Chains A and B, each alone.
Chain A
Amino acid sequence: MAEKTLLKGNIALAQGAIAAGCRYYFGYPITPQNDIPEYLSGELPKIGGTFIQAESEVASINMVMGASAAGARVMTSSSGPGISLMQEGMSYMAGSELPALVVNVMRVGPGLGGIAPTQGDYFQATRGGGHGDYFNIVLAPASVQEMFDLAIKAFDLSDKYRNPAMILCDAVLGQMKEPVILEEKGAEAPPARPWALTGAKGRKPQFLKTLYLSDGEQEAHNLELKEKYDLMRKEDVLFEGKGLDDSEIVIVAFGTVSRIVKTAIQMAGDEGIRVGLIRPITLFPFPVEVVRRTVKKIPKVLVVEMNTGQMVEDVRLSIEDKVKLRFYGRPGGGIPTPEDVLREIKVTLDEKGF
């Protein structure tokens, strides 16, 4: 049996990045993700990598952009306000088709907010977040093991599509310790990047840009980007599904909340209520198809989030109006308890719950 190591989520994520071949990190301190830069500042120099504590998140993301343009696997990490400052750079990276990993260990907003767990940045992460017509690949781990595994997956997807990828998690996942199997499963060697800027030796000069001025050129570029997003939706949707065939009600929840929901589902089972779970692992591309299929059999849906209702919009877009959909959310650092979720399950089952 593979050996297990007890690790904090943030450290597991950093180790996943190293396992994925990432040797460049640029970032700026912000809680609750500081373990990531602290760990990498010690580890990267040992393996020939580079760590820079940048002067701001704005600089961080632009260093990431430069390193990516130069052909390296590269990452940054931050939280809420810092991620907001990175949106300009992420838009440029999506536009100039540059891969990188951006980790958001969310904190409460709007504004500075506290460092309690939250899922308030779902919209920002899944709608692109910066200006322009683009999407990030967004992965939502729900365990320390997944902090490691999905870091690797995020790099691979980011390279596959030449598009920024984001890990969206929170202080619970970042700070708690769990046993992890540090297998480099799925870690592909960083692919060749013929488009990278390495000096025009023996080839024509190459450019990375987002500004296209000839008639129709910018539109063609945007349509090419859209083709990539469509391909992501077709090929790279990830989710965990449980009890989707014979339940009376299905819950959609991601990340930390999905763990609380699992406890509530057990409690409901003890009372003879069968509850299914869809846990999106990719928040973009969103698992539209499984939601659509499932609600045809189980037409009662409960969405639970740590915000005032963000992913619920994607669930709603995936289903028909006649499906009964209830939302339960705790914003601002509030954490739903399994008892809260069990109560909501019962309200949803009750016809008067809508």
Chain B
Amino acid sequence: MKKVFSRPKSLVDCQTHFCPGCTHGTAHRLVADAIDHFGVREKTIGVSGVGCAVFIYDYFAFDAIEAPHGRAPAVATGIKRVHPDKIVFTYQGDGDLASIGTSEIIHTANRGESITVIFINNTVYGMTGGQMAPTTLLGQKTTTTPYGRNFRNDGYPIRMAEMLATLEGVAYSTRVSMHNAKEVLKAKKAVRKAFEMQIADMGLTFVELLSACHTNWRVKPLEGQKRVEEEMIPYFTLGVFKERKEKDFL
């Protein structure tokens, strides 16, 4: 009988600490699938951010390091410069990448480091208990915006994929979602492309994955997926914001 579906080799067979229904598991699978697809598990090094993303070393079957909060792109830079032949990626949440780590992601992208960045945008700080993230939507209630995010006090939700697309060093910047099977399949293609372009040494590749955090959103999992579709996507437009076709560096 033909086997059509199995656990990727790059994914460890274990129970995760993620809440039931959390899309981190899906994102992990997409990364593992891409690594397996290109047959690079034995030359991949992962760098995790701080937050729910930190435990990648427990879930992936390749080398990994835990970076200080927000600094994963700098750590990845050091690794990639020592091992230009290895596949290096960071896996970061929105507090990690879009708040405390903005300096590191922007300058790593600007240097065109040949790494892949997997960015989980779920509009809250997950592990610390649902505080406002830089991606929190206007009006969204969090534990630190009990009256809803107000732009006069808290500024606006930040669109990282669009912002990074403006940088010369970025080869690929896209935003995808994981709220239903169709979108997950599109996300799978995007993650694959990001690793494919890294293998071709084209510059930094960035995939923003819209994710649900129903625990901190205080909704049921299915409502969470609905919220991604109805509230997040209208603001965080899905699409490809930059895609280099060849090594067309300036």
Contacts and interface: CB of A to CB of B under 8 A. Distances in A.
A208 interface: yes
Contacts of B42: 199-202
A54 B64 CA distance: 23
A92 interface: yes
Interface residues of B, number: 34
Interface string A208-252: 111100000000000000000000000000000000000000000
A205 interface: yes
Interface stretch (A59-67, A147-155, A280-288, A291-299): A59-67
B204 interface: no
Given A55-B103, A59-B104, A197-B64, A65 B75 contact: yes
Interface stretch (B79-87, B143-151, B152-160, B189-197): B79-87
B103 A199 contact: no
Nearest to A207: B57
Contact of A26 (B66, B78, B79): B78
A43 interface: no
Contacts of B141: none
A64 B80 CA distance: 12
B75 A50 contact: no
A208 B107 contact: no
A165 to B, nearest CB: 17
Contacts, number: 131
A254 interface: no
B91 to A, nearest CB: 14
Interface stretch (B43-51, B210-218, B242-250): B43-51
B81 A59 contact: no
Interface string A3-36: 0000000000000000000001010000000000
B76 A59 contact: no
A52 B44 contact: no
Interface in A61-84: 62-72, 74
A118 interface: no
B77 A66 contact: yes
Given A56-B103, A58-B103, A205-B63, A199 B78 contact: no
A66 B63 contact: no
B74 A210 contact: no
A68 B65 contact: no
A70 B77 contact: no
A96 interface: yes
B62 interface: yes
B63 A65 contact: no
A337 interface: no
Contact of B63 (A54, A62, A207): A207
B71 interface: yes
Interface in B98-112: 103-104, 106-107, 111
Contacts of B83: 70, 198-199
Contacts of A89: 68, 71
A198 B41 CA distance: 11
Given A50-B81, A58-B74, A66 B65 contact: yes
A60 B77 CA distance: 10
B110 to A, nearest CB: 8
Interface residues of A, number: 39
Nearest to B77: A63
A178 interface: no
B82 A59 contact: no
A88 interface: yes
A297 B196 CA distance: 71
Contacts of B104: 55, 58-59, 62
Contacts of A201: 42-43
B209 interface: no
Contacts of B67: 62, 65-66, 92
Nearest to A70: B82
A58 B86 CA distance: 24
B82 A62 contact: no
B81 to A, nearest CB: 5
B104 to A, nearest CB: 6
Interface string A89-115: 100100010000000000000000000
* For the complex of A and B, 6 pairs with smallest distance between CB atoms: A66-B78, A62-B74, A70-B82, A67-B78, A55-B107, A201-B42
Given A59-B71, A74-B78, 15 more contacts: A26-B78, A59-B77, A62-B68, A66-B75, A66-B82, A68-B78, A70-B78, A70-B82, A72-B82, A197-B65, A199-B62, A200-B42, A200-B62, A209-B66, A211-B66
25 contacts: A52-B81, A52-B111, A55-B104, A58-B103, A59-B77, A62-B68, A63-B77, A64-B78, A65-B75, A66-B79, A67-B81, A67-B82, A68-B78, A71-B82, A74-B78, A197-B63, A198-B83, A199-B45, A200-B42, A200-B44, A205-B61, A207-B63, A208-B65, A208-B66, A210-B66
